[in-house]
């Protein structure tokens, strides 16, 4: 019996301490509440984890410097597990229970699409960290929705432009069978037709595949002048290795899904010379000092890598841009959902990690194809492609 009593005493003490803690907090200026929903665990955790780390880091920095106009920033982070139902629940909770001013995330395109009707109805600004273009289009039905990642189609256009500048017109494509690979395959086919490029071979591979020589054998037998490998799964690093095994010498282009130095390391020597479009975060060291993004990128990279002892990823960068957009709006207009939305929609020249954002009522992404830079792999490092 006494053990039970002791347990209750502890619980009551904890409750008392907790209420004391919260009441002292409310005596200051009221904190600004912002929601963050990321796929922190589950199959898309490699997206959600750096995003969560990034926003936590920003909140610490902002509050250490005295908050936003004297108001502390309170971030309520929810885990979506990359699942649509859980994301919907999390967003409902953030809006109804926590009464947040804006929401940053989700990490994936599918989960973002699932919550768009909710935020549109509740009139809460949402800044997604997912890539699909349908997130912000058609824009008249996306009044409250914005996104920070660059467009897939711009990556495709940059690759095709580079291929054409080399005087090539016939390409082979090999794509992963996941959502990212499949969306890329559709974009590649669509823009190839528009830009006068012939796709002479179209192959796919699964995320668990260990050998792509059969697909590459087929491609080798065509007159393709270049190969585009569009995938986000680790298996993409096997393609350059198999190409080398088969003695294929045509240039290899990869998607922005290659933007993880681990993949270049996994490809080893075979990965040298791969060309791919990516945000400038990955090649910040080789960026000229007078580039307008250099300061933002260098600071984020340094802060993140010192704090978490792991390399920055572009995904964390998307969350960085999204949260700073909200903070920027809060500074300017204060805690009003409609004013925050209007401020973001009219924001021009916002320098983020993904590019320089110029939002408008017609464009809720604010980035052009110039947000991508063509990078290459040199001595197992990402560097800007010189020509």
Partner 1 sequence: MGGSGILQLIFSGITIGSIYGLVAVGFDIIYNCTGIINFAQGEFVMLGGMIMISLVGAADLPMWISFPIAVFAVTLIGALFERLCIHPLKKPSILTLIIITIAASILFKGGAMFAWGKQTFSLPHFSSERPISIFGATILPQTVWILGFIAVVVLLLAFFFKATMVGKAMRACAANRSAASLVGVNVKEIVLLSFALSAAIGAVAGIIIAPIALMDYERGMILGLKGFSAAVLGGLGNPVGAVVAGFLIGIVEALCAGLLSSHYKDAVALIVLLAVLFIRPSGLFGSLEASRLKKF
Kindly list the residues in this chain that would bind partner 1 in the complex (CB under 8 A).
43, 45-46, 49, 174, 203-211, 213-215, 217-218, 221, 234-235, 237-238, 241, 244-247, 262-263, 265-266, 268-269, 310
Least spacing, CB of residue 241 vs partner 1, in Å: 7
Least spacing, CB of residue 39 vs partner 1, in Å: 11
Q: Report yes or no: 232 and 176 within 8 Å, Cβ to Cβ.
A: yes
Least spacing, CB of residue 203 vs partner 1, in Å: 4
Which lies closer to partner 1 via its Cβ, residue 246 or residue 338?
A: 246
Which lies closer to partner 1 via its Cβ, residue 293 or residue 314?
A: 314
Q: Report yes or no: 123 and 57 within 8 Å, Cβ to Cβ.
A: no
- H-type helices in the chain, by residue range? 2-26, 45-64, 84-96, 109-122, 152-165, 179-195, 213-220, 238-245, 261-267, 294-308, 314-333, 337-345
Which lies closer to partner 1 via its Cβ, residue 135 or residue 237?
A: 237
Query: What is the four-CA torsion angle of 157, 318, 351, 307, rounded to 10 degrees?
Result: -130
Residues in the chain: 387
Q: Report yes or no: 258 and 275 within 8 Å, Cβ to Cβ.
A: no
Which lies closer to partner 1 via its Cβ, residue 117 or residue 268?
A: 268
Q: Report yes or no: 161 and 214 within 8 Å, Cβ to Cβ.
A: no
Least spacing, CB of residue 244 vs partner 1, in Å: 8
Helix (H, G, I), strand (E, B) or coil at 149: coil
Which lies closer to partner 1 via its Cβ, residue 87 or residue 204?
A: 204
Strand 373-378 relative to strand 381-384, pairing: antiparallel
Which lies closer to partner 1 via its Cβ, residue 112 or residue 204?
A: 204
Question: Residues 6 or more apart from 384 whose CB is under 8 A from it?
Answer: 283, 286, 287, 373, 374, 375, 376
Least spacing, CB of residue 343 vs partner 1, in Å: 35
Cα–Cα distance between 150 and 369 in angstroms, integer? 8
Which lies closer to partner 1 via its Cβ, residue 53 or residue 293?
A: 53
Least spacing, CB of residue 279 vs partner 1, in Å: 20
Least spacing, CB of residue 278 vs partner 1, in Å: 18
In Å, what is the CA distance from 351 to each residue of 199, 250, 297, 324, 355? Answer: 36, 37, 9, 10, 6
Least spacing, CB of residue 226 vs partner 1, in Å: 19
Cis preceding-peptide flag for 138 (omega within 30 of 0): yes
Which lies closer to partner 1 via its Cβ, residue 102 or residue 173?
A: 173
- Tell me the torsion sign for CA atoms 277, 283, 288, 292: positive
Which lies closer to partner 1 via its Cβ, residue 6 or residue 262?
A: 262
Least spacing, CB of residue 91 vs partner 1, in Å: 25
Which lies closer to partner 1 via its Cβ, residue 77 or residue 173?
A: 173
Q: Report yes or no: 300 and 281 within 8 Å, Cβ to Cβ.
A: yes
Cα–Cα distance between 68 and 31 in angstroms, integer? 9
Match 């590019």 to its residue by tokens.
355
Least spacing, CB of residue 232 vs partner 1, in Å: 11
Q: Enter the tokens of residue 308.
A: 């978490």
């Amino acid at each position: 019996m006494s053990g039970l009593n002791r347990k209750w005493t502890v619980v009551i003490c904890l409750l008392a301490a907790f209420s004391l803690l919260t009441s002292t907090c409310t005596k200051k200026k009221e904190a600004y509440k912002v929601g963050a929903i990321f796929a922190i665990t589950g199959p898309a955790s490699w997206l959600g984890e750096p995003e969560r780390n990034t926003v936590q880091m920003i909140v610490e920095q902002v509050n250490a410097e005295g908050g936003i106009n004297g108001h502390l920033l309170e971030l309520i982070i929810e885990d979506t597990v990359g699942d649509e139902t859980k994301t919907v629940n999390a967003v409902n909770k953030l809006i109804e229970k926590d009464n947040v001013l804006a929401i940053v995330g989700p990490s994936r395109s599918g989960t973002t699409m699932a919550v768009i009707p909710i935020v549109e109805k509740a009139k809460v600004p949402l800044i997604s960290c997912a890539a699909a273009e349908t997130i912000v289009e058609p824009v008249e039905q996306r009044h409250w929705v914005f996104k920070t990642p660059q467009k897939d189609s711009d990556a495709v256009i940059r690759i095709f432009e580079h291929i054409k500048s080399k005087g090539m017109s016939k390409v082979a494509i090999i794509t992963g069978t996941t959502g990212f690979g499949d969306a890329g395959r559709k974009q590649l086919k669509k823009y190839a037709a528009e830009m006068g490029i012939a796709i002479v071979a179209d192959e796919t591979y699964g995320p668990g595949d260990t050998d792509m020589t059969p697909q590459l054998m087929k491609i080798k037998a065509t007159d393709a002048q270049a190969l585009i490998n569009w995938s986000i799964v680790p298996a993409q690093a096997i393609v350059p290795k198999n190409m080398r095994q088969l003695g294929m010498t045509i240039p290899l282009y990869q998607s922005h899904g290659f933007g993880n130095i681990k993949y270049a390391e996994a490809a080893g020597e075979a990965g040298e010379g791969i060309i791919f479009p990516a945000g400038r975060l990955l090649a910040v060291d080789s960026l000229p000092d007078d580039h307008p993004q250099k300061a933002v990128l260098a600071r984020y990279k340094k802060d993140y890598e010192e704090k978490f002892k792991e390399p920055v990823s572009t995904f964390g960068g998307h969350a960085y841009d999204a949260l700073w957009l909200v903070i920027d709006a809060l500074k300017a207009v204060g805690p009003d959902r409609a004013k925050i939305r209007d401020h973001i929609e009219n924001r021009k020249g916002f320098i983020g990690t993904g590019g320089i954002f110029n939002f408008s009522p017609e464009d809720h992404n604010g980035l052009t194809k110039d947000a991508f830079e063509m990078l290459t792999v040199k001595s197992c490092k990402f560097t800007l492609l010189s020509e």
